[in-house]
Structure 1
């Protein structure tokens, strides 16, 4: 999964449907009019009113959270929708993996071992998004999942 993002409408669609489709939007670089340039920004929010987009939020590779008016953006180079496990921004990757692991644990507790179809679909999406390695390292989840040759079996 690596889909090019073609405009702010794509940014908004991906960010507002994150739970259904997974992944994040990461660009190679973003350059502001002031000359500041940030590598591997991950976009977290796009604000709009009516049909006019006015600000965009992102986290830099150094962990700085920024909200910038769209008029202050000079260029966004190669924005791509990709899985969390594939992003270069290590700071955001660790935050997002932790969030998704916590959410997966809550799903397990809420489902109580019934393994309903909606649970399985959502668990599969999360696992595909973050990869197997974080699951293997989590003691609580590793008891619930069976690992064999990079294949996971739930229950």
Structure 2
């Protein structure tokens, strides 16, 4: 009726669940992930490096979500009030890392005495073969574990 054609595409995506974080004093910490869903062969999770590697150049959508837990003492004078969730790109032809997307959030914005809040980032990028990405978080001690909603995913578009 609409004269449509069916287009078959090899969609690649990876969805990783939160596993944990390395604790580094005064530095952003890399996040550990465990595999949840892998489709296609254009992207690969490198467990040792805690990074996703691009196997085929193209357009990709990256999304990360983590849950933090806060209490009333989180906004004291001697605590850094800003938490940062970052996706960091390691381009294949450069040695320097680039923050490609970041969410900066104030812990003082959470109103309850004890609460949890999701922090997420997402964006689409033109990526090159062998580029790598990983997730860093500024306050790993605030991460709330055990949530199925916390993830790192990348989808070919």
Give the alignment's TM-score, normalised by structure 1.
0.24
Task: Give the structure with the larger strand fraction.
Answer: 2
Task: Give the structure with the larger helix fraction.
Answer: 1
Higher relative contact order (CA 8 A, sep 6+): 2
Give the alignment's TM-score, normalised by structure 2.
0.24
